[in-house]
Structure 1
């Protein structure tokens, strides 16, 4: 399904699109542990590292039909088990705390938004006048939530995860029908099997759906993040934690502040080397071509009046003479004067 090719996605007036610097988002929704002080520290660390936004999560603790469901996670290499409802309750902020979080983002010059997983949460975020909404991979089929966000008229970021193309087509239709803003898709997955990560979905979504696509990075490894940039990702999401020694959800998958700085530097270096989808030699290569390309050159002394042939004329460096692409123009012509071996042929050397 193809959508409007002019699907310009913006956050606070900044275009998130091909040809623009990749928009970098620090994911701290779980690593803040629902503690305001920790959230403020993470915002400061993200800004210091050079991130463009900090993303939180607005979660409904009552979304589970079974209060006994457990959540397993690893922190410091040690596996922990928590009751999932209690975990969600811990991650909750009051409206006043959300206001403090938003103000801190503004003060540090980074954008603020949150993944929302329940209809009432959209209203809470709207009270903060967020610039954009986001839903997680497990809510792409939650039509009521999608339509609630669409009714705000604001743009929507969507994690794809388990979504099939039919789910994506439905999402686009629901958003359009309810007057929603533009979409930005984040390729992500919940597998450790490389053959199932399907990173080329990024390029496919950009070109087939004409919807900007990014990548929600699942772990500390940045190889896939670099690959995503090469495939056309316009947004990268990376987890941040103050210390992996903390017993926090997604601790082992998150970067610490100093590591995030290095990551940002690498991403900016990689994207600066992307260039354009055409063959353009560098200034250095153009200059070096004068030295290392070949020119039409004598292979032996040639007497005046003697004809040039493949026996006495060939190709030698440097490339400051007549290019070898014109070699056939000179074969068979007579020399206007005697020429020494290793002489770069000039126009006036032949009759």
Structure 2
């Protein structure tokens, strides 16, 4: 039985701060067949300073007149918004997820909204205090690794493991985190709870920047489940990621790519999301179990497509079979061609007409 990839429709901030649009994104994700729809939980004043610059892609999509902090303030969802959106997810039978960007937002998601998994964005791969806070809840964590190195991922895993396995201490040190990774039991805990997402943090990301093989590098380096947070244009690279072993695929969803806002242009619309999910499900089914055996549908075609030993010209009883009068032709089901040489020189036990199948 083929494994099922967790497909997350990343609504992110594509609601533009509008609860009604957020609810419409929930409905669109559910109709498209996504397993989960994910938003972002933050308080702008806790996320950025007034002097924080916008990324170049944000400047291209939202202009330069507004600061990053001002942009983020316009994209906030209130705690009440989040609870209403989560309730809509229950009604639509789709899992609600959100990426928390600060400790208070994370606590609200866990204690009030009741999320079952925490997602960490690539920007917080090195945010050790937040990682520790998230791990203290004991929930599964999906960790995006965009902009990161293997060394930074390892440091993050040390912090997360410490949060899972050690009592709160006032001043944990980098050595505490690193030493914990030397314990084999730590990796058992991490394998059970942490999934690493390969990601290219650019919106949209060009194909030559994707480096899908790095997903396998993460899996080989840490032995954890891996997935892909897809910022590429279109839908085809996500299917390739699944073929390469992604257990999670995350893709930005918008109701309209022409809407104002930082992420709409790098997102896909609902019909494209549905097409991507259908393609992924086909890839999952096509992967199979890896055993090289005939598919049940192939068995009847063996007789049609394979060959058997046949007499090429009339042969009388007592004549010998030779390279001139013995050959292989369709249909199969008779003496297999591998026996060709063992019949050369043998005496025919009865008369054969041309193209008649040889009998044992």
Give distance in 2, aligned partners of 1:177 and 1:287: 57
Q: Structure 1 length normalisation: TM-score?
A: 0.86
How many Å apart are 1:295 and its aligned residue?
0.6
**Is 1:200 matched with 2:200?**
no
189, 199, 216: which one aligns with 2:200: 189
Equivalent residue number for residue 105 of structure 1: 89
How many Å apart are 1:307 and its aligned residue?
2.2
Equivalent residue number for residue 139 of structure 1: 124
Q: 1:278 to 1:201 in 2, by over 3 A?
A: farther
Equivalent residue number for residue 114 of structure 1: 98
How many Å apart are 1:74 and its aligned residue?
7.0
Q: Which segments of 5 or more consecutive residues in structure 1 lack a partner in the other structure?
A: 1-17
Give distance in 2, aligned partners of 1:187 and 1:202: 5
Q: Which segments of 5 or more consecutive residues in structure 2 lack a partner in the other structure?
A: 166-188
Equivalent residue number for residue 69 of structure 2: 85
Root-mean-square deviation (CA, aligned residues, Å) is: 2.3
| Shift >6 Å, 4+ stretches | none
Q: Structure 2 length normalisation: TM-score?
A: 0.84
Equivalent residue number for residue 295 of structure 1: 308
How many Å apart are 1:193 and its aligned residue?
4.7
How many Å apart are 1:65 and its aligned residue?
4.0
Q: 1:208 to 1:279 in 2, by over 3 A?
A: farther
Give distance in 1, aligned partners of 2:279 and 2:54: 37
Bigger Cα displacement from structure 2, 276-285 vs 98-107: 276-285
103, 124, 144: which one aligns with 1:159: 144
How many Å apart are 1:136 and its aligned residue?
0.8
Q: 1:190 to 1:96 in 2, by over 3 A?
A: closer
**Is 1:24 matched with 2:7?**
yes
121, 125, 128: which one aligns with 2:109: 125
234, 237, 244: which one aligns with 1:231: 244
After superposition, give the CA deviation of every residue in 1:120-176 in whole Å (9 maximum; x if it has no partner): 322122222210101111211111111111111111001111121112222222222
Q: 1:238 to 1:193 in 2, by over 3 A?
A: closer
How many Å apart are 1:326 and its aligned residue?
2.0
Q: 1:78 to 1:60 in 2, by over 3 A?
A: closer
How many Å apart are 1:27 and its aligned residue?
0.7
Give distance in 2, aligned partners of 1:78 and 1:102: 28
Give distance in 2, aligned partners of 1:208 and 1:311: 61
Give distance in 2, aligned partners of 1:129 and 1:79: 33
How many Å apart are 1:41 and its aligned residue?
1.1
Q: 1:160 to 1:289 in 2, by over 3 A?
A: same
Bigger Cα displacement from structure 2, 170-179 vs 46-55: 170-179
Q: Please state whether the residue corresponding to 1:104 is helix, strand or coil.
A: helix
1:303-322 maps to which residues of 2 (within 5 A)?
303-322=316-335
How many Å apart are 1:79 and its aligned residue?
6.0
Give distance in 2, aligned partners of 1:86 and 1:66: 8
